[in-house]
Amino acid sequence: MARAVTTQRKTLNTVIAWGIGLLIFFPILWTILTSFKTEGQAIADPPLFLFFDWTLENYAVVQERSDYMRFLWNSVIIAGGSTLLGIIIAVPAAWSMAFVPSKRTKDILLWMLSTKMLPAVGVLYPIYLLFISLGLLDTRIGLTIVLMLINLPIIVWMLYTYFKEIPGEILEAARMDGASLKEEILYVLTPMAIPGIASTVLLNIILAWNEAFWTLNLTAANAAPLTAFIASYSSPEGLFFAKLSAASTMAIAPILILGWFSQKQLVRGLTFGAVK
């Protein structure tokens, strides 16, 4: 809603809102800044905000100590792979529900979506036991499949809500012009569906990237992604603040960049489509 607000009130509100924003962002900002300081500067009194000798030393130490690149690579493969696999399975399903709905479509959708809310512990045993018997523990392929499965409902749902926004009349017009199903999908639907698919991909990469329950429980050394990397730093012994900051900055850097572009998708996905 929009109401007339006096200039003074407006300024005050802006100041308060930015104050809250700063408060929320401060822990992230401070961690990033500290990661570029030396250990001495990190605990300097009074604290140094921007004017210190910027150094990359902490990053070198963290990389050497725990091979950051390997974790990063695992994260990229697992998040990317599970998203790709999920999209391949979900696009036809979402297409079918959005454009050829039946009486049960809405029920099936909500039923699928509800599974995303269930606690992972409910299926931990069977998946764990299955992984042992198939030798999938601590493998990237195993984790890719599990993350695809747990995010499949949300992928189908998101794609469905995006596809729903494509006007059906266009399809009818194409059909009237004598387009076959194949042509209809290739030349009419696909170009219109790309933005929705891209948004879903973005959302799902973030969800898979952040997934910790399965990555912590099903990996040890080989397939461990960045969530496991950061968890290994969760006991601070032997490390100092600047290096801890470097480690967590490295863990969140890809998300900080992706996150800026995908706020909308994130809210839409996490509210299960309630907020567009």
Residues 159-188 close enough to bind other proteins by CB under 8 A: 181
**Using CB under 8 A, which of 50, 176, 221, 274 touches other proteins?**
274
Contact indicator for 110, 161 with CB cutoff of 8 Å: no
Q: How many CB atoms lie within 10 A of CB 53?
A: 9
Site size toward other proteins, by CB under 8 A = 91
Q: 19: how many CB neighbours lie within 10 A of its CB?
A: 10
- Name the minimum Å distance from CB 222 to other proteins: 19
Nearer to other proteins, 29 or 173 (CB): 29
CB of 275: closest distance to other proteins in angstroms? Answer: 4
Separation between Cα atoms, residue 191 and residue 80, nearest integer Å: 22
Residue 67 near residue 129 (C-beta atoms within 8 A):
no
Q: How far is CA 242 from the centre of its chain?
A: 26
Which of 95, 166, 179, 183 is the binder for other proteins (CB under 8 A)? 95
Burial (CB < 10 A; 0-12, 13-18, 19+), residue 181, is exposed
Token pair recorded at residue 156? 């189908």
Which residues between 22 and 61 bind other proteins (CB under 8 A)?
Answer: 24-25, 27-28, 31, 43, 45-47
Instruction: Show the site string, 223-242: x = touches other proteins by CB under 8 A, - = not.
Output: ----x--xx-xx-x----x-
Q: Which of 156, 59, 47, 58 is nearest to 105 (CA)?
A: 156
Choose, by CB under 8 A, the member of 41, 66, 96, 139 that binds other proteins: 96
Q: Which 119-148 residues touch other proteins, going by CB under 8 A? A: 119-127, 129
Q: How many residues are present in the chain?
A: 276
Does residue 107 belong to the site contacting other proteins (CB under 8 A)?
yes
- Residues 242 to 271 in contact with other proteins, rule: CB under 8 A: 244, 248, 251-252, 255-256, 258-260, 262-263, 266-267, 270-271
CA dist., res. 163 & res. 197, Å (int): 9
Nearer to other proteins, 94 or 140 (CB): 94
Coil, strand or helix at 37: coil
Only segment of 57-65, 150-158, 166-174, 187-195 that touches other proteins (CB under 8 A): 150-158
Nearest alpha carbon to residue 200 among 119, 83, 42, 111: 83
21, 40, 167, 168: which one contacts other proteins (CB under 8 A)? 21
User: Judged by CB, which is closer to other proteins: 166, or 231?
Assistant: 231
Q: Which residues contact 168 (CB under 8 A, 6 or more apart)?
A: 99
Instruction: Please identify, using beta-carbon distances, which residue of 140 and 265 lies nearer to other proteins.
Output: 265
